[in-house]
Amino acid sequence: MAEQSKVKLHGMWASPYVKRVELALKLKGIPYDYVEEDLWNKSELLLQLNPVHKLVPVLVHGGKPLCESLVIIEYIDETWPNAHRLLPQDAYERAKVRFWATFLQQQVRNITYKLPLYMNSKNNLGVMGLSDGNSLFLYDHVAKVIRRDGEVQEKAIKEVHEKLQILEQHMEEIFPGGNPLVEDQLGLLDLMMAQTMNANKAIEEAFGLKLIDPEKYPLVYSWMTSLHEIPVVRETAAPSHKMVGLLHILRKMGLMGHDL
């Protein structure tokens, strides 16, 4: 019986997709085992669990695997409904949340550029995609900002700001009554944005690029900052100094022409 209820999460420490699933499990108070995957040298088990995308996160519950972060989070919310609801119970409100979740997750579906990181076996780093199967609203463009110079970088920065402007304009629609952002009321959209402040700070520290400017995007920035102040969000975030190091390696690889 214990084996049937056992929860295991296969992930990679820097993946924002994995982090949002970790956060969902923690908010629900669900005990789980964590398995760190080397995405440069993928385990046979990972390939068996996710034969389509061969990426993390993968949640295994009672021996049954689930892939892709949004699918996993909805499964978690439906399987453990009595603790910290992540989606509204009202059908219309739930549909609206799913709409914006889809916007955040797949706004750039036609772009298949994945955000790779370089790490070698000596220091536990390898070449890896951080996507869990779908392009993400900002990460695809941010990857180009980091990995390129000149006109390509300028175009990518412009695209990042265009997407942020759309989000800023619709913040009141996303949170019509305002978002109180207390730990026991965090929802699906909060989980999707929870690691953004950490990533934004790392990019600014590594390259001097302030992508999410509080003057240009006050509502988005306030949302992001408030999320980062919540203890469980900070505890789940990847270490900033490690992220800065990875970003430098990522840029070096991009400038050398390694499109992985």
| 86 lies in some domain | no
| 19 lies in some domain | yes
For 224, the 3-state DSSP assignment is: helix
CA distance 227 to 9: 23
CA distance 130 to 139: 9
For residues 95 and 163, state if they share a domain.
yes
Q: For 93-129, what is each residue's pLDDT tens digit?
A: 999 999 998 887 754 332 223 333 333 333 333 334 4
**Of the residues 79, 106, 138, the one at which a domain ends:** 79
Phi/psi for 117 (5° steps) reads -125, 145
* Number of domains into which the chain is organized: 2
Q: Quickly state the pLDDT bin for 180 (edges 50, 70, 90).
A: low
For residues 10 and 131, state if they share a domain.
no
For residues 95 and 61, state if they share a domain.
no
What pTM value is reported for the model? Answer: 0.83
For residues 209 and 137, state if they share a domain.
yes
For residues 141 and 236, state if they share a domain.
yes
**Of the residues 25, 55, 79, the one at which a domain ends:** 79
Strands 7-11 and 33-36 turn out to be parallel
DSSP state of 211: -
For residues 54 and 102, state if they share a domain.
no
Q: Quickly state the pLDDT bin for 149 (edges 50, 70, 90).
A: low
Phi/psi for 41 (5° steps) reads -125, 75
Burial group, residue 127, by CB count within 10 angstroms (0-12, 13-18, 19+): middle
For residues 44 and 124, state if they share a domain.
no
Q: At 64, which CATH number? A: 3.40.30.10
Q: At CA 259, angle to CA 258 and CA 260, rounded to 5? A: 100
For residues 73 and 99, state if they share a domain.
no
Instruction: Give the amino acid at 179.
Output: N
Structural domain for 29, as ranges: 2-79
- pLDDT for the residue numbered 3: 62
Residue 236: CB atoms within 10 A of its CB come to 22
- pLDDT for the residue numbered 136: 43
| 85 lies in some domain | no
| 120 lies in some domain | yes
For residues 107 and 70, state if they share a domain.
no
| 166 lies in some domain | yes
CB 249 within 8 A of CB 128: no
Q: At 127, which CATH number? A: 1.20.1050.10
CB 220 within 8 A of CB 228: no
**Of the residues 56, 79, 102, the one at which a domain ends:** 79
For residues 61 and 151, state if they share a domain.
no
Mean pLDDT of all residues belonging to the chain: 79
- pLDDT for the residue numbered 103: 81
